Amino acid sequence: MTCNKQQITEAPIPASGRHTPRIPFITTGASRRAFVKGVAGFLGGSACLSLAHPAFADGLPPLPAASMTSEKDAKITTLIVGGGVDSLPSRWASLLAAPLGLGSGADRPLQLQQTTGRDGVTAANIFDTQNGGDNDRSLIVPGATLLASMIGDPRVHFDPTRWIPIFMAISSPIVVGHADFHRSLRTLLKPRQVRVAVSTPDGPELPTLLAMQLLSMAPVPVPGYASPESALEALKKGLVDIVQLPAETIGQQPVSTLLEGTGADVLFRLPPANFSTSSDQNTIPDFTRWFKMQRNHLPSGAMADAFNATAAAISTDALLAMPILSSADQTARWRHAASAALNDPAVRAEGIQMSAMLAAGTSCVPLFAQLTPDATALLALRRWLARQMPLWQGNKPPGKP
């Protein structure tokens, strides 16, 4: 029997002359076989791992069978609902709970957690503070929640940039009224006042006030008109000049029916260009087009960006989001489930009834970006509100003490 001596060679010093650590290379047959066997075992384990997690051809994971759902994949089980039980987000939550829960691998419909507050700020605060590492909650709120964040509402303790949007329902509110928008030397020296019916000066009608400001008018918010019916009645009586109508008020009826006896015209629709494609409202120009017809140029600057952001927010009936810390696999599953939910008959019927454009999955990303304007637009909006609010504080509805 012969004894193999272990031969050890050293790596040569590179031609550059730099000294590098000399690493021994084992060259005996027995050691090489042990080394190769170990590498083969590692590669074999890696191959099994790759088979357990194959690459997805369409970029989205397949929807798992209920028995195959892991605990991690089914973490999101609660949907926090903002806006009240009779709000549009609540209606959408009821329709989406089953297809989203089952489609994302939760093996059951999502549990709805109703909250108080019509603008959804309370729900968004809960969502931001209660979502830990297990990411067991999602959120659905109206666009008014994002508007509150834009204006710097002191109640806001959430950060919408920490959300991943996966579903959006977008409608087309319109602005109607009667006012003289023609420019003259007199209006250049002193802007013409225009009375706008609002619930509150910094409420949902804020985009219309901004639109009047961009037109070089002097917007005067007349508060106390929380419902479209009361605002239209005030318009008929000549107590206000401009009214903003939500899409749900318009419904499937012609706008001219709502304006009978008011002497008002349809001016423009609120959603920014390319934000909404609702076919029912395509005959009504968006504000950018209407502005150009009035002023022969396009609106520009930080205030125009602020208008676009606030108008996009008010045009958002419902936004469903998940935490930004969600895993890539979980995000893909939810986007897949949200896209599949668009084919649900009840979801499609609701979209048709509300004349809403529905977006899901990655299609929400560019739309959501318009709801989070840059710092320049936010600063311009808040400065403008800081200047205007003291002037608006004393405004009261005509005929009310």
Could you tell me the strand order of the sheet in which 163-170 lies?
A: 111-114, 78-81, 137-141, 316-323, 163-170, 357-360
Mind listing the pLDDT tens digit of every residue in the chain (401 residues)?
A: 444 444 444 444 444 444 444 434 344 444 444 443 443 443 344 333 222 332 223 344 444 443 334 444 446 789 999 988 889 999 999 999 999 988 877 778 899 999 988 899 999 999 998 765 555 789 999 999 999 999 999 999 999 999 999 999 999 999 999 888 877 666 667 788 999 999 999 999 999 999 999 999 999 999 999 899 999 999 999 999 999 999 888 766 778 788 888 888 999 999 887 775 554 456 889 999 999 999 899 999 999 999 999 999 999 999 999 999 888 998 999 999 999 999 999 999 999 888 889 999 999 999 999 999 999 999 999 999 999 999 888 666 555 54
CB-based contact 368:165 (threshold 8 Å): yes
Pairing outcome for strands 193-197 and 218-222: parallel
Q: What is the pLDDT of residue 297?
A: 92
What is the model's pTM? 0.78
pLDDT of residue 73: 47
Q: What is the spatial distance between Cα 305 and Cα 272, in angstroms, rounded to a whole number?
A: 10
The answer to whether residues 378 and 386 touch, using CB atoms and an 8 Å cutoff, is no
Question: Is 102:343 a contact under the CB 8 Å cutoff?
Answer: no
Q: How many CA atoms lie within 13 Å of 51's alpha carbon, on the beta-carbon side?
A: 6
Paired sense of beta strands 137-141 and 218-222, if any: unpaired
pLDDT recorded at residue 211: 96
Q: What is residue 316's predicted lDDT score, i.e. its pLDDT?
A: 96
User: What is the token pair recorded at 272?
Assistant: 């920014």
Q: Is the dihedral of CA 285, 288, 290, 292 positive or negative?
A: negative
At residue 46, the pLDDT reads 35
**pLDDT at site 62:** 47
Phi then psi dihedrals of residue 255, to 5 deg: -65, -30
Beta strands in 8-47 (DSSP E): 8-10, 24-26
Phi, psi for residue 181 in degrees, rounded to 5: -100, 5
